[in-house]
Structure 1
């Protein structure tokens, strides 16, 4: 790889600008939804959107600054860290949904521990990927390889936590569908709209599954990308980054725009105050 080019290619200004505009649109809408509903549990998701915007602004600027360690570090770290921020909100939504449905007995993880376990894991992933991303912003091959290995380890940890979360959500979904609580049954009866316009606890869960699937695909892509290193086909062809990272994460944000959990859960406070102390974010 050219010592003066940290990317291995010339980053596309056009592609970066397109995703700056796309992420700005969905993030601004998320900010409006957050302000309207006051759902503080969705703050990390919005921060993830802001990370994406700044990250792709830096990628656009990188076209004329191929050797800038600062620009490379900012775009690399922020784009890596956006999905863990999405995950933090996704974890908190499930905990609040379980409380909302009065169905704690149907969840394999106690709600008072759910957010603590998954968000703590997410913070660990966040720190690993932040540290690894920082090390990758180096001209030294050995340091870059170390950073890549740290990021790979972070991605594996993220996959493990995400996998456990999806299993937890799926088991809860199966149980609440088979043994619905009074609240779950009444919520379905009060459902308005037809088809994709329906809004109830089931659509919230389906939206979480969709977002989790997109993040998992993105994590697997990143894991393969780093496994084959800086001279690998994925790492040296920018199009894959936009297809398997930028595009998937944009779709994830749009899904949560359309099926925003606050439509069902509101600010998440009214039914949480009597519950676990660790769930009040």
Structure 2
């Protein structure tokens, strides 16, 4: 009776699933889910970069009291750290099913936290600079887009969970993850369109010229403003490109060609997302909002999530 395994692999061997007992000693790496042993060097680098980003975002969050932004960035970094730690484990055993599912869930869902941080920060920027130029109330950016992020996260996590329970054979699990990724891509495209429209209107307005006259410790606020909006825009575009790649990859399932290409994963998952994380570090809201307009999360009242302006007599330092 044929087992579908290479002739030199024992017939009792299970390649994939909770009870997988394949190891590199008895199974060729080509029959693993990825078809390769994840690069140790690349995954250690990503792991270290995410740990470093978490430490820096904690420092910046405490300094500028940007609790929601800090929470999103740290949660995203923790997710990524767990995911890349699992991939490091898979370097030594590509057949480790638990590590495979951990990295599928954690690495795939990580950018949801970063996009939530972007939504709230840019909504706050609209409220601070010129809310009258927005075609929608700035509050709608986080009343609509953050709940959609939560739904995306639920679908992606549930899809990964179903895949785990079914040893990776559940089409429902793959479909649920696809729904989550598809919704995430669609909402990000809508957000980019709405925010792009606002930026065009803002940079053409007299309010923009007035904002250039703001002063933060004598530094060029106009440069800060351009860097802030440019890197925020770049971050959301990087995350959008990454989500599009994962959507195409997952459409082929665990046996598609894209999932076996580690160079694509490193470039279009690892590099794009970590670049977005460091863009958000440079474009941290604390660098653009005055200390008298520190970002605090207010969850009381009918306004929901809101950035408050806290009186202060001391301008922010660079």
2:176 to 133, 142, 150: 150
2:99 to 71, 74, 77: 71
Q: Which residue of 2 aligns with 1:190?
A: 214
Please give the per-residue CA displacement for 1:53-98, whole angstroms capped at 9, x wherever unaligned.
1210111012234343332222111111110000000000111101
Higher mean C-alpha displacement, 129-138 vs 204-213: 129-138
Please give the per-residue CA displacement for 1:246-275, whole angstroms capped at 9, x wherever unaligned.
1111111111112212111253249x8999
| Aligned CA distance change for structure 1 residues 68 and 31 (closer, same or farther; 3 Å) | same
Aligned partners of 1:20 and 1:56 also within 8 Å: yes
CA distance in 1, matches of 2:299, 2:257: 51
CA distance in 2, matches of 1:269, 1:275: 14
Q: Structure 1: which 4+ aligned runs deviate by more than 4 Å? A: 272-276
Aligned partners of 1:16 and 1:57 also within 8 Å: yes
State the Cα distance separating 1:242 from its structure 2 match: 1.1
CA distance in 1, matches of 2:301, 2:131: 10
Structure of higher CA gyration radius: 2
Q: Which residue of 2 aligns with 1:11?
A: 38
Unaligned runs of 5+ residues in structure 2 are 6-14, 17-21, 23-31, 308-318
| Aligned CA distance change for structure 1 residues 140 and 173 (closer, same or farther; 3 Å) | same
What is the TM-score when the length of structure 1 is the normalising length? 0.87
What is the TM-score when the length of structure 2 is the normalising length? 0.78
Q: Which residue of 2 aligns with 1:25?
A: 52
By relative contact order (CA 8 Å, sep 6+), the higher-ranking structure is 1
Please give the per-residue CA displacement for 1:194-243, whole angstroms capped at 9, x wherever unaligned.
9xx9212x432222210111011101111111122222221012221111
1:255 to 266, 275, 279: 279
Are positions 1:126 and 2:150 aligned together? no
Structure with bigger helix share is: 1
State the Cα distance separating 1:135 from its structure 2 match: 2.5
1:110-259 alignment, distance < 5 Å: 110-137=137-164, 140-143=167-170, 145-181=171-207, 184-190=208-214, 192-193=219-220, 198-200=223-225, 202-259=226-283
Unaligned runs of 5+ residues in structure 1 are none
Are positions 1:55 and 2:83 aligned together? yes
